[in-house]
Structure 1
Amino acid sequence: MKYLKLKLFICILFFSSIAFASPFGNKLIVPIIELDADSEHFAYVPAFDLKVGESGEIIRWFDKEHSGIVAMAAVVEVKDNRAKIAFEPFVGLEQSAFPTPLLKPQKNDEVVFRGFNDRAFLIAPTQDIYEKVRNAYPDVTWLHPDLFAAYLMDIGHTAPVKGDFRKICAQYATGVVYIVNLNEGQALDCQTFSLIKKDYITGRAPIEERMLPFFSRIGSTNQEWFSYLINDKRTQDYYIYFDALLKGEIKDEDATFFGRITNYFTQSIKDIF
């Protein structure tokens, strides 16, 4: 009887999420159905349409009105209608003035995937291509690249690395980064950089129109500054740089959970923890 109730509960959550369609994936809430017997860092949830590389948060309900984020999670395997997730305690809201709760995920905790996939940063070489992509996805809330450009200037980065995307996405509750790359657009999970969707609506910008490091109103007034500071030939062209970034050729020193998860997929590193 308990199994039937759990199954019904899962189905209600899944199909209710479908009613609110998002081009980059519908919000999905699933329970932890089993903890891994061999490792304290892994658990299992119903797979539904989850893909390897998708990120999420594990939520604990303390009562009917109060809940909290227990851990960050990422899908590392999908098999036999179950998704294996890796997780690590959540530290996004850590404050030195307050004690950090020592909570570990447990069976029946909720795992929320794609909770912010209706919000995205758009990285494009020109304003024309930026507007073209934005207009193609009117249901997405696009965070302006000025926010990201200002963040990069503030921390002294002339071109972004994957860790920069993770931080800005966490800061603005954003689930997706859409990067225009060569002749295609790639919508990526902002934490793991796993591919969500690919399209071919952008075309390629002429060399003389490409901005560094990407289109932004801040960049349009600081092109000489970027060109002066960027010495690596790879960063002198928008497409060459972001193609290298997506291929993992730009070194990612991010040692956070999602940084390790990304390297686990792109560099075949077998030990996440």
Structure 2
Amino acid sequence: AYDTVTKSISGIEWVHPDNYAAFLSYEGHPTPLVEDFHDYCTANSVGLLYIQSAQTLFTLDCKSFTLLQTTPSLTPSTKAMTPFYTRVPTIRAAWWGEGSSRLDSYEPYYLEQIALKNSHNKELHDLYKAKFSTDSALLQNFDLKD
């Protein structure tokens, strides 16, 4: 999926995710926080962040996590790479604190983070509602009315 995305989107100077994995290991966050993205993007002058779920490629402003665009996934993922594609075998975890635990499934986590930062977005609301339970507590955080 990483190879397909980077080759299909032209005009972008890509920063390899191994650099981000090293940053997360230094922070002790195998589960990246939105603040981790913000700090890394600010320190490394990264503007766009791409997160691919099973069906959707999300283009986000890396510093604010504002959703800029959604497109159908360019390729279905056959093998999950958690928390993202990287050749770094292990992201070191802190003993405690937010971001220090590993998750079984990162897709719901990333979708929740995107949804929380973009609660006014109807398209995202509908996508999240279709993917997860309609009685999800997260749906109550959206500014939209059904």
Q: Normalized against structure 2, the TM-score is what?
A: 0.69
Structure 1 residues 265, 165: closer, same or farther in 2, change over 3 A?
farther
Q: Is the 8 A contact 2:58 2:70 kept in 1?
A: yes
Match among 52, 60, 63 for residue 180 of structure 1:
52
Deviation at 1:165, TM superposition (A): 0.6
**Number of corresponding residues:** 118
Residue 156 of structure 1 corresponds to which residue in structure 2? 28
Residue 247 of structure 1 corresponds to which residue in structure 2? 115
Q: Deviations over 1:146-202 (max 9, x none)?
A: 111110110111111111111111111111111112301011111221221221143
Q: Is the 8 A contact 1:210 1:238 kept in 2?
A: no
Distance (Å, rounded) in 2 between the aligned partners of 1:244 and 1:263? 10
Distance (Å, rounded) in 1 between the aligned partners of 2:119 and 2:11? 32
Distance (Å, rounded) in 1 between the aligned partners of 2:68 and 2:8? 16
User: Where do 5+ consecutive residues of structure 2 fail to align?
Assistant: 94-99, 122-140
Distance (Å, rounded) in 1 between the aligned partners of 2:142 and 2:3? 36
Distance (Å, rounded) in 1 between the aligned partners of 2:112 and 2:119? 18
Q: Does 1:196 align with 2:62?
A: no
CA RMSD, 1 decimal: 2.6
Distance (Å, rounded) in 1 between the aligned partners of 2:81 and 2:119? 32
Structure showing greater relative contact order (alpha-carbon pairs closer than 8 Å, 6 or more residues apart)? 2
Deviation at 1:265, TM superposition (A): 5.9
Residue 133 of structure 1 corresponds to which residue in structure 2? 5
Residue 211 of structure 1 corresponds to which residue in structure 2? 81
Alignment of 1:62-141 (within 5 A): 129-141=1-13
User: Where do 5+ consecutive residues of structure 1 fail to align?
Assistant: 1-128, 249-261
Q: Deviations over 1:7-41 (max 9, x none)?
A: xxxxxxxxxxxxxxxxxxxxxxxxxxxxxxxxxxx
> Which protein is richer in helix relative to its size?
2
Letter of the 2:65 counterpart:
F
Q: Normalized against structure 1, the TM-score is what?
A: 0.39
Structure 1 residues 162, 151: closer, same or farther in 2, change over 3 A?
same
Letter of the 2:10 counterpart:
P
Letter of the 1:211 counterpart:
M
Distance (Å, rounded) in 2 between the aligned partners of 1:180 and 1:263? 17
Distance (Å, rounded) in 1 between the aligned partners of 2:105 and 2:73? 21
Q: Does 1:167 align with 2:39?
A: yes
Q: Is the partner of 2:14 in helix, strand or coil?
A: strand
Residue 237 of structure 1 corresponds to which residue in structure 2? 105
Letter of the 2:40 counterpart:
I
